[in-house]
Structure 1
Amino acid sequence: MLPWTALSLALSLRLALARSGAERGPPASAPQGDLLFLLDSSASVSHYEFSRVREFLGQLVAPLPLGPGALRASLVHVGSRPYIEFPFGQHSSGAAVQDAIRAAAQRMGDTNTGLALAYAKEQLFAEVAGARPGVPKVLVWVTDGGSSDPVGPPMQELKDLGVTVFIVSTGRGNLLELSAAASAPAEDHLHFVDVDDLHIIARELRGSILDAMQPQQLRASEVTSSSFRLAWPPLLTADSGYYVLELAPSAEPGNVRRQQLPGNATGWAWVSLDPDTDYDVELVPESNVHLVRPQYLRVRTLPEEAGPERIVISHARPRSLRVSWAPALGPAAVLGYHVQFGPLLGGAAQRVEVPAGRNSTTLQGLAPGTAYLVTVTAAFRSGRERALSAKACTPDGERSRAPRPQPPGAGGREP
């Protein structure tokens, strides 16, 4: 009996440890991220529709791995003014979030979705408001399809922060506007469904949310007016497959550029792009070993790089003068300026470095009464430079004068 008693004790201890581990929360491999539900709670939604949407959100969130160090959820109502039902971190389990959603009351009022989106950015998703840095962020907007105020600009600001946007429309809505508001590609992030059929998309949407919460995301950096660099984590190996990378202007989806890369690649730079243009990027991992979903990204190039304009010479002194200029366009892409100056009639040229945040400098050590050629050059991150030149003259210096002879009897008494 003793061996069986020992075995029973060991199994009991293992079970207790397992339960203890479960109580501590999800494992380290659980996805992390912040999930915001934006719920149309305005008077345009009937009480019946609101109750059905509320039930759907509870069904959607219950199985999610919510908890400290994992997923956090928040709910904001859309009405005349945004109203936060509960912030991130208030509830630490799927059941608690589900109960809070089911207890939410309709707020009524106008459908000011844009105002609610701006509130979400400033009060929930911004790091200064306590948002967790470096974790994926997802917005699920449930709407009857309309808004009393503009949605596009504040939604784009959220997407610029890296927020993945899913939209569930229970009304007709404007397909083009909602497609633009959702993350790309719209067919994976926008759902049109009757309020009584919301349960049909619950499983698919939940899986998409979990996929978006994974840190293995395509990202862009070093964006200029004509190029940007892409990076992604290792999704394949050299032996397990290859990547197909596609790029197309958002306004011309048929104008596609493709690049095939080996399975051990983790980055690529697109060049020769148009300035101030939205580009849609698709990274397709091709493998016969395992299925890896494509990743999508929209990147906007910077405005065209234009050099400094309207050089102004001021505060001219015999040995110094001040040079000012209109800053170059595309300031985010400017590394800095250098100002070169030298006498027009020949002589050594000098150079002064000016940081990107300034657009003026004072040139010292000049010669009086001399004409100079001053050239201001903007250096961009792309490696290109733009320059503008102007002439400047220093005034003559004060010359020493001989003392005037004094008339007899002036300046003192004779001895």
Structure 2
Amino acid sequence: MLPWTVIGLALSLRLARSGAERGLPASALQGDLLFLLDSSASVSHYEFNRVREFLGRLAALLPVGPGALRASLVHVGSRPHTEFPFGQHSSGSAVQDAIRAAAQRMGDTNTGLALAYAKKQLFAKAAGARPGVPKVLVWVTDGGSSDPVGPPMQELKDLGVTVFIVSTGRGNLLELSAAASAPAEKHLHFVDVDDLHIITQALRGSILDAMWPQQLHASEVTSSGFRLAWPSLLTADSGYYVLELAPSTDPGAARRQQLPGNATGWAWTGLDSDTDYDVALVPESNVRLLRSQHLRVRTLPEETGPELIVVSHTRPRSLRVSWAPALGPDAALGYHVQVGPLRGGAAQSVEVPAGENSTTLQGLAPGTAYLVTVTAAFRSGRERALSAKACTPEGERSRAPRPQPQRTGGREP
């Protein structure tokens, strides 16, 4: 443990020193970190203990302190439960001990309910949360939930919360990719419960990056918008920000937004795809003079696909579906293929990972018309779908055997 402590101390000193060079206080690395732990009966005691140990080791490597990072632990169960609020523990080792002492709650896996509860905790003074500091959620799950996760998770991200997901089970790739902050490859980890130690350092670094917005920067860039973040330069009493946005080719079409001095982020939406935008953050204060910060961000090309569904290799009980895949930098995270009888009946679904653009649908009924729908899921959370009709041929009918001519020993007359 000592070598990691030395590394953590060295990193903290480096961050403090770089902050001082920019004129920021040494305590500028601040943030509220909420661990969301699946404590329901769907998780075995062995898995729960392994995850608990992983979170404890992760917390021990973070610069936890009253004026720096604060941590809280919330259980997912039939009802959410706070193990400890923000600010109760003033060091990484104290947080580690508290996590190790947490007992499994059991019950249902009501993750959506826990996320709604976590949103209140992350912004509640009574829970020890602080206004104007970066917010990070680390959700460790076996992949399942008894209630919807998407809407409450999107509310958190809309409020500027950075969401990391660690799945130790066989969770739905598309759903978890949409739930995590973008890009998914940085914020979503699929790891066996016995191999969690492999991602500890990478996840620690990503959490610190989210807690340390060194200057005005953009994230979660899509074809129609992006999110901005900046360090805390003002307070609610010392001034306000003016945020300006304009297409690089048309400065006269600028949009402006005034924000309070304790704001540290804003999301622009409804923008044109594949377009360069110039952003300016202007701090206005009577207390001290602060320079404006500038940034150019290019939105991604329009999300397209899937296109041109082709049905082939039709058999009485199966058929193959292919489609033109989504292309470009904002290519689909994966595809959801659904097939159901046109005259009604049970539908079946198949998940197809990104990089593949065909699948064989099995277990169909002979001589039946079907509607096949291919849906592409994008990192922005949006989906695009295309449907086509297909029909399985009739199966071969059984034929009665031909009567064989009877042979006799005599001659025909």
TM-score (norm 2): 0.50
- Find the structure with the greater CA-based Rg: 1
TM-score (norm 1): 0.50
